[in-house]
Structure 1
């Protein structure tokens, strides 16, 4: 399939290793191809509902980092070990960096776990919606691979 997700200006994609981006893109392509082959509108609607509930990278970083900082504070307690408080401080500094720059070590961690950006999730959603027939830009001729590729390109634009 042609390179459909190269124009992204997401900080997450820019800073993440290309192998991580390729793995995430391959997952999206595989899912869109599968939906194109099955051509089942009900299944596409169920899958779109699943995509609506998927956590995006910034949410995962915010929740994970906050939980880690809170755990450090709770475990440190009033007379607890200083190490737990240091963990909280470092985590909060990393969350601040994430908020200011859009990317940081916590983002790199969740990206390697396969967590996608909101834009990547939306691209897949729009491609599935195009396959489902919600838009007029996807031709009905050609095989499932051609339709999947057209849907991914249309979702990008």
Structure 2
């Protein structure tokens, strides 16, 4: 079985020569449930940022398996004061929102007189796979459930 994520000999040093993490190696199989425990300042968030590709200033090797996307939700998200609550939430779902918008374009393109049905069908299949993986066809319902569970302010609030 192939690892879904591998980290080999990863170290991170910040000025002035403070080692946050040193020589970490780990690998995960698909479906693994993991936990990252440590004292405050031990480097847990740093390891997660490296795993997600957010922090690339480190020594060693850290890589997901091909076609695997690693996400990272910061403890304190950077929010734009001009965005509505809904826009901020949708920002974290950009792949799904963009796939749905592109799929709508593909559906419209089928009606064009010179439509390339083979190319459109291939693009439709690719987009459907993205939507299915993220339950994108139920996006509105999922957003409402999440907003209620998290007790978010109204969607239009800033």
Question: Which TM-score applies when normalising by structure 1?
Answer: 0.33
- Higher share of residues assigned strand: 2
Question: Which TM-score applies when normalising by structure 2?
Answer: 0.33
